[in-house]
Structure 1
């Protein structure tokens, strides 16, 4: 798994962003945040829930639903969102720190 990459979960096909440090790649688990199709999350808080375009569709990062999956549950790597690292990190900072 690679941090800030989007994966499709094998079990249900949901999209998630890996947010765990690459330094912890030896663990059997990975911290992830679900991506929901735009319009499926309410309310949306801009700083907490950034939006990303993936394959021509818009998704909202549901930061408040952060969780952990086993690495074996991660399917294909779909896109690298490292270029959006500031927005992703700001959302997790807002979740944990409140700023």
Structure 2
């Protein structure tokens, strides 16, 4: 994304692995996670503190993200074979994500 002054706004570049893992909406801070699904089905979860942990499935990676977030509002970027999916989870994580 390019700002009005012509400078790049890298906070909106979803393909940047160094992308900020947190963003603010109003006064609330929203956690951001990235999950990379490998061809084997294993998933690499990148957390808001830039830790990366591998899990055997999307289900376990999402469960870990939810525990890490403590059910707080979060954005999840999911990548699989070049396909990008974005999921916003409001407080309490009411949306069910299945693979």
Give the structure with the larger helix fraction.
1
TM superposition score normalised by structure 2: 0.27
Give the TM-score normalised by structure 1. Answer: 0.27
Higher relative contact order (CA 8 A, sep 6+): 1
